[in-house]
Amino acid sequence: MLNKVTESAAQAMSNITDGATILIGGFGLAGQPAELIDALIERNARDLTIVSNNAGNGETGLALLLKSGCVRKIICSFPRQHDSYIFDDLYRAGKIELEVVPQGTLAARMQAGGSGLGAIYTPTAYGTLLAEGKETRTIDGIDYVLEYPIKADFALIKAFQGDRWGNLTYRKAARNFGPIMAAASKHTIAQVSEVVDLGVLDPEHIVTPGIFVHEVVHVGA
Amino acid sequence: MLNKVTESAAQAMSNITDGATILIGGFGLAGQPAELIDALIERNARDLTIVSNNAGNGETGLALLLKSGCVRKIICSFPRQHDSYIFDDLYRAGKIELEVVPQGTLAARMQAGGSGLGAIYTPTAYGTLLAEGKETRTIDGIDYVLEYPIKADFALIKAFQGDRWGNLTYRKAARNFGPIMAAASKHTIAQVSEVVDLGVLDPEHIVTPGIFVHEVVHVGA
Amino acid sequence: MNNYTPWSVDEIARYVAQDIQEGMYVNLGIGQPTKVADFLPDDKDIFLHSENGVLGMGPEPTVGEEDGDLINAGKQYITLLKGGSYFHHGDSFTMIRGGHIDLCVLGAFEVAENGDIANWFLGRPKDIPAVGGAMDLAVGAKKVYVMMDHVNRNGAPKIVEKLKLPITGKKCVNRIYTDLAVIDVTDQGLKVRKMVDGLTFTELQTKTGAKLIDNTQSI
Amino acid sequence: MNNYTPWSVDEIARYVAQDIQEGMYVNLGIGQPTKVADFLPDDKDIFLHSENGVLGMGPEPTVGEEDGDLINAGKQYITLLKGGSYFHHGDSFTMIRGGHIDLCVLGAFEVAENGDIANWFLGRPKDIPAVGGAMDLAVGAKKVYVMMDHVNRNGAPKIVEKLKLPITGKKCVNRIYTDLAVIDVTDQGLKVRKMVDGLTFTELQTKTGAKLIDNTQSI
């Protein structure tokens, strides 16, 4: 009997080592896997590359992870936001590397990574500084930039319900990057508000099938 | 008040003209929009390019459309199957053009079309006859073939429930190509077994949001 | 002394809202454009899209009804209309990049007469780049409308012949709504559709860094 | 007279099934490979994937319980296990091409010693090419096992040094299950893991179009 439910967030972090690339779900605070991030900070693996839409705000979650000094580089679309002073200070002090990627390109690169494509031509950012130095091509009269997949060692995401096969549902706009991050990483850890018995999730309503999920951690709702 | 529900399949076909490219949903008979295909045959637009996984079997649906002589070219992954004699005869008589595309590449090309990508590098078919004459590239030690998007004028798909905003759900494995065809065409016509009031479909369970759907046709279940 | 009163943000938002037809799928950028939602007609079905996976955004929730899982791209609490839906970021940007969004309304620092836009990066050494979905919207939406002040804080024109700021989207703007005028970006040049009462075309031209064409009579 | 009896399709299927571990995501190709499902252990969670958007396929439905919307890639009626799920073709081939499927079992016309496969097109002038998902599986699954007769109807070897038929997948096969033997495709060559009782290695070699290595002792 296969059971992907892991006892604790701490245990789920045990395979994460120095130098790992980790996708972290969430858009602002919605869908941010706060408890998994706390456990990752505890884990204290160093030299991490983090891929997430934002770079954290305030003194919790992603921001705290950056503050912990574990992160060498962050790939995101929108680092500067309300209360993102931890990132801002690290960046201005040259203590963290930043790769800014348009939000749709971030999503498309993860989807390319998850689906085994080698590269994609996207029209986004053509002719701007985010395309500088990148290969371009005109196809049917439209200009495109060549972008490469994002694949990661781990994904930490937040879902709503999960079962022992790793099937997941999400809640409202907290879904955001969860499903595509799950597919783009070798080892996906999902924190869920509820663990349900196999068969409770309607096969028509499962958003992320268990094939993309390796560990499910129950956290207080 | 916007209402995408169209009175009849015949009426939904009224914009389809000679030379159109049409995506037709279904995998075998599951998800094949039989009533819409019948109406398309009635419409008698000529010189069509059809994109569908199969090339029909027996004397119904897609097979009948081919028999009607309306189709100049078919793009599919698996034309030859049990009882596909209508296609087989047309093909051997040189009366229909065939472009065979690996099933996953067919899906990926539609997804590229629907999402505005200019081209994708896929590993599928590299080094085989289906990649002959195509551009290739080695990325990180893996060989890829360059494939271009499939975009269409129309998509005819079969869904389960639909509402007046065009939101759709599907039934079991009849989902197959429906959602990605809806996104890859300029004008998507969905036949549904049930038209439901706005708000009946749970926003978490809508598989194809109405933005990808232009007409909804109710057919007898 | 001015013999005219610039339009307020609410007034500009109302003009934008008037140009949105029933059935359109619309993305309103962060900041001023968000205001447009307040002026959309109640009796028409217009679909507001948010990059973070929401279609069919409704009005702000009432106090106490806020849900941390239901926010817009600006991270403000929102509601969902009956008939709305949730989806992941991949699908959300399929909608944007794939040309399924009819209209997006963006803020901007500068717009050039050919439709180039500079709207999220000033390019100063200490600036932290933060693009979000702005570039995907600029490239992907069928129409791009810009909503901004006509001149900057120093009185310099924000509508220019060529961008002085770093370009963030090429030839993508279709129409500009400022506190002084509504201007179409066309192959023939910048055509003024409408001006604030009391403002002359000549005055408007002096506040604009590119040649304008007076088209107010033919609208 | 042979002093051995070739394995039946059921026996081959049983050997394949024995090599599938709990927790694996498996795609069984159309034809012989479909049989493998019958020999999977009931007490282990093994997930069968079907290209047309199904994960967690269960056994055949009982008569009268067939559902036209619930079929596998071979268009046969199936059932869904508790915990199974449905998804669209894009997601289904993300699973395949993205390397999420642990194992696929395919039929084949020929396999070369370097793992090249010819498995859906004979290349005769009148043949209608019909690839389906075969090429995506060959390229995308973590492991590719082939299940086929050891020789063709004319007695000619189907395991060869170089393919005579058109190649349909490059260097993708990891193991071959025939009615006579189980053979690993390795960088060092074709290593025989197991043979039918009564068959000698020398006899097996004569029925094989590429050099074999006897590895039966070390398995």
Give the pLDDT confidence of D62-88 residue by residue, as tens digits: 999 999 999 999 999 999 999 999 999
A33 phi/psi in degrees, rounded to 5: -80, 75
Segments in chain A forming alpha helices (H): 9-12, 34-43, 61-67, 85-92, 103-114, 178-184
**CB distance B114–C22 less than 8 Å?**
no
Handedness of CA A180, A186, A191, A195 (dihedral sign): positive
In the structure, what pLDDT confidence band is assigned to residue D2 with cuts at 50, 70 and 90? confident
Report how far residue B81's alpha carbon sits from residue B52's, in angstroms, rounded to the nearest whole number.
14
Q: Would residue C118 be called left, alpha or beta, if left means φ above 0 and alpha means ψ between -120 and 50 degrees?
A: beta
B99 phi/psi in degrees, rounded to 5: -120, 110
Look over chain A and give the mean of its residue pLDDT values, rounded to a whole number.
97
Q: Residue D218 has what pLDDT?
A: 85
**CB distance B114–C86 less than 8 Å?**
no
**CB distance C130–A126 less than 8 Å?**
no
Helix axes D89-97, B103-114, angle to 10 degrees: 120
Decide: B58 and B83 in contact? Cβ < 8 Å. Answer: yes
Decide: B50 and B36 in contact? Cβ < 8 Å. Answer: no
- Tell me the chain A residues in contact with residue C117 when contact means C-beta distances shorter than 8 Å: none
Instruction: Please tell me which residue of chain D has the smallest CA distance to B31.
Output: D69
Percent of chain A with pLDDT over 70: 100
- Tell me the chain D residues in contact with residue B176 when contact means C-beta distances shorter than 8 Å: 52-53, 88-89
Report how far residue A13's alpha carbon sits from residue C219's, in angstroms, rounded to the nearest whole number.
63
Mind telling me how many Å the CA of A1 is from chain C's nearest CA? 31
In the structure, what pLDDT confidence band is assigned to residue D1 with cuts at 50, 70 and 90? low
- Tell me the chain C residues in contact with residue B187 when contact means C-beta distances shorter than 8 Å: none
Q: Residue B220 has what pLDDT?
A: 79
**CB distance A117–B169 less than 8 Å?**
no
| Contact C211/A at CB under 8 A | no
A139-153, B74-88, D106-120: lowest mean pLDDT where? B74-88
CB neighbours of C186 closer than 8 A, spacing ≥ 6?
none
A91 phi/psi in degrees, rounded to 5: -65, -45
Count structural domains, chain B.
1
Q: Is the pLDDT of residue D125 over 90?
A: no
Distances (CA, A) of C116 to A103, A140, C33, C165: 20, 21, 18, 11
Segments in C19-149 forming alpha helices (H): 89-97, 134-140
Rounded mean pLDDT, A14-34:
97
Active-site residue, D51 included: yes
Report how far residue B74's alpha carbon sits from residue B55's, in angstroms, rounded to the nearest whole number.
8
The size of the A-C interface in CB pairs under 8 A is 140
CB neighbours of C154 closer than 8 A, spacing ≥ 6?
none
Handedness of CA B13, B16, B22, B23 (dihedral sign): negative
Best residue in C114, C131, C168, C172 for a mutation probing chain A (most A CBs within 10 Å): C131
Report how far residue B91's alpha carbon sits from residue B87's, in angstroms, rounded to the nearest whole number.
6
Kindly state the DSSP code that residue C114 receives in the 8-state scheme: T
Chains in touch with A (3+ beta-carbon pairs under 8 Å) read B, C, D
Rounded mean pLDDT, D89-116:
98
Q: Answer whether residue A205 is part of any domain.
A: yes
Q: Per the residue annotation, which of C22, C51, C66, C113 is the catalytic one?
A: C51
Q: Residue C218 has what pLDDT?
A: 85
Tell me how crowded residue D54 is: count the other CB atoms within 10 A of its CB: 29
**CB distance C47–B211 less than 8 Å?**
yes
Which positions in chain B have a beta carbon within 8 angstroms of at least one beta carbon in chain C? 1-2, 111, 113-117, 163-165, 167, 183, 198-199, 201, 203-204, 206, 209-212
Number of residues assigned to chain D: 219
| Contact C75/A at CB under 8 A | yes
Distances (CA, A) of D7 to D11, D36, D215: 6, 14, 19
Q: Residue B5 has what pLDDT?
A: 98
- Tell me the chain C residues in contact with residue B113 when contact means C-beta distances shorter than 8 Å: 98
Look over chain D and give the mean of its residue pLDDT values, rounded to a whole number.
96
**CB distance B31–D135 less than 8 Å?**
no
Using CB atoms within 10 Å of the CB of residue A119, give its burial: 0 to 12 exposed, 13 to 18 middle, 19+ buried. buried
Query: What is chain B's pLDDT, residue by residue, as a tens digit (221 residues)?
Result: 999 999 999 999 999 999 999 999 999 999 999 999 999 999 999 999 999 999 998 999 999 999 999 999 999 999 988 889 999 999 999 999 999 999 999 999 999 999 999 999 999 999 999 999 999 999 999 999 999 999 999 999 999 999 999 999 999 999 999 999 999 999 999 999 999 999 999 999 999 999 999 999 999 75
Report how far residue C135's alpha carbon sits from residue A124's, in angstroms, rounded to the nearest whole number.
6
**CB distance B111–D126 less than 8 Å?**
no
**CB distance A116–D140 less than 8 Å?**
yes
**CB distance B82–D75 less than 8 Å?**
yes
The size of the B-D interface in CB pairs under 8 A is 141
Q: Give the range of the structural domain holding residue C91, as residue numbers without chain letter.
A: 9-214
Best residue in D136, D142, D165, D171 for a mutation probing chain B (most B CBs within 10 Å): D136
| Contact C96/A at CB under 8 A | yes
Count structural domains, chain D.
1
Q: Answer whether residue B189 is part of any domain.
A: yes
* C126-180 per-position pLDDT tens digit: 889 999 999 999 999 999 999 999 999 999 999 999 999 999 999 999 999 999 9
Report how far residue C30's alpha carbon sits from residue B181's, in angstroms, rounded to the nearest whole number.
31
Q: What tokens appear for D129 in the block?
A: 């090419």
Using CB atoms within 10 Å of the CB of residue D188, give its burial: 0 to 12 exposed, 13 to 18 middle, 19+ buried. exposed
Q: Residue B13 belongs to a domain with what CATH number?
A: 3.40.1080.10
Look over chain B and give the mean of its residue pLDDT values, rounded to a whole number.
97
Number of residues assigned to chain A: 221
Report how far residue C22's alpha carbon sits from residue C29's, in angstroms, rounded to the nearest whole number.
19
Map tokens 């990661």 to a residue. A152
Indicate if ipTM > 0.95.
yes
Q: What tokens appear for B179 in the block?
A: 């959602």
| DSSP β-ladder status, B142-147 and B136-139 | antiparallel
Q: DSSP readout, chain D?
A: --SS-PPPHHHHHHHHHHTPPTT-EEEEPSSGGGGGGGGS-TTS--EEEETTTEEEEESPPPTT---TT-B-TTS-B-EEEEEEEE--HHHHHHHHHTT---EEEE--SEEETTS-EE-S----TTPPP--TTHHHHHHHSSEEEEE--SB-TTS-BSEESS-SSPPSBSS---EEE-SSEEEEEETTEEEEEEE-TT--HHHHHHT-BS-EEE-GGG-
| Contact D110/B at CB under 8 A | no
Report how far residue A1's alpha carbon sits from residue B62's, in angstroms, rounded to the nearest whole number.
43
* Three-class SS state of A196: coil
- Tell me the chain B residues in contact with residue A142 when contact means C-beta distances shorter than 8 Å: 118
B12 phi/psi in degrees, rounded to 5: -65, -25
The size of the B-C interface in CB pairs under 8 A is 67
Look over chain C and give the mean of its residue pLDDT values, rounded to a whole number.
96
Q: What tokens appear for B79 in the block?
A: 């034309």
**CB distance B114–C98 less than 8 Å?**
yes
What strand order describes the sheet that includes C103-106?
Answer: C79-86, C54-58, C47-50, C25-28, C103-106, C143-147, C175-177, C181-186, C189-195, C212-214
Mind telling me how many Å the CA of B121 is from chain D's nearest CA? 12
CB neighbours of C45 closer than 8 A, spacing ≥ 6?
B1, B2, B165, C22, C23
Of A183, A198, A209, the CB nearest to D55: A209
Report how far residue C16's alpha carbon sits from residue B215's, in angstroms, rounded to the nearest whole number.
28
* B141-198 per-position pLDDT tens digit: 999 999 999 999 999 999 999 999 999 999 999 999 999 999 999 999 999 999 999 9
Residue from B170, A107, B203, B185 nearest C47 by CA: B203
| Contact D133/B at CB under 8 A | yes
Q: Residue A10 has what pLDDT?
A: 97
Residue from A149, A211, A193, A188 nearest A25 by CA: A188
D108 phi/psi in degrees, rounded to 5: -155, 155
CB neighbours of B135 closer than 8 A, spacing ≥ 6?
B145, B146
**CB distance D85–A116 less than 8 Å?**
no
Q: Answer whether residue C1 is part of any domain.
A: no
Best residue in D50, D104, D124, D139 for a mutation probing chain B (most B CBs within 10 Å): D139
D127 phi/psi in degrees, rounded to 5: -70, 140
Q: What tokens appear for D203 in the block?
A: 């006899």
| Contact C124/A at CB under 8 A | no
What are the CB-based long-range contacts (under 8 Å, 24+) for C163-166?
A: C163/C110, C163/C112, C163/C116, C163/C117, C163/C118, C164/C110, C164/C118, C165/C109, C165/C110, C165/C118, C165/C121, C165/C122, C165/C123, C166/A128, C166/A129, C166/C118, C166/C121, C166/C122, C166/C123
Report how far residue D219's alpha carbon sits from residue D216's, in angstroms, rounded to the nearest whole number.
6
Mind telling me how many Å the CA of A42 is from chain B's nearest CA? 34
| Contact A178/B at CB under 8 A | no
Of B2, B183, B209, the CB nearest to C55: B209
Q: What tokens appear for A125 in the block?
A: 């950012």
Q: Residue C1 has what pLDDT?
A: 60
Mind telling me how many Å the CA of B193 is from chain A's nearest CA? 16
| Contact B105/A at CB under 8 A | no
Using CB atoms within 10 Å of the CB of residue C79, give its burial: 0 to 12 exposed, 13 to 18 middle, 19+ buried. middle
Q: DSSP readout, A75-128?
A: EESB---TT-HHHHHHHHTT-SEEEE--HHHHHHHHHHHHTT-SEEEE-TTTTS
Tell me how crowded residue A46 is: count the other CB atoms within 10 A of its CB: 13
Q: Answer whether residue A135 is part of any domain.
A: no
**CB distance B117–C99 less than 8 Å?**
no
Q: Is the pLDDT of residue A221 over 60?
A: no
Q: Residue B221 has what pLDDT?
A: 53
Best residue in B165, B185, B188, B215 for a mutation probing chain C (most C CBs within 10 Å): B165
| Contact C119/A at CB under 8 A | no
| Contact A19/B at CB under 8 A | no
Which helix (H) or strand (E) covers residue B183, if one does?
helix B178-184
Q: What tokens appear for D85 in the block?
A: 């799920």
Report how far residue C60's alpha carbon sits from residue C76's, in angstroms, rounded to the nearest whole number.
8
Q: Is the pLDDT of residue C84 over 70?
A: yes
Rounded mean pLDDT, D41-53:
96
**CB distance B115–C49 less than 8 Å?**
no
Q: Answer whether residue C52 is part of any domain.
A: yes
Q: Residue D67 belongs to a domain with what CATH number?
A: 3.40.1080.10
Report how far residue D41's alpha carbon sits from residue B137's, in angstroms, rounded to the nearest whole number.
42
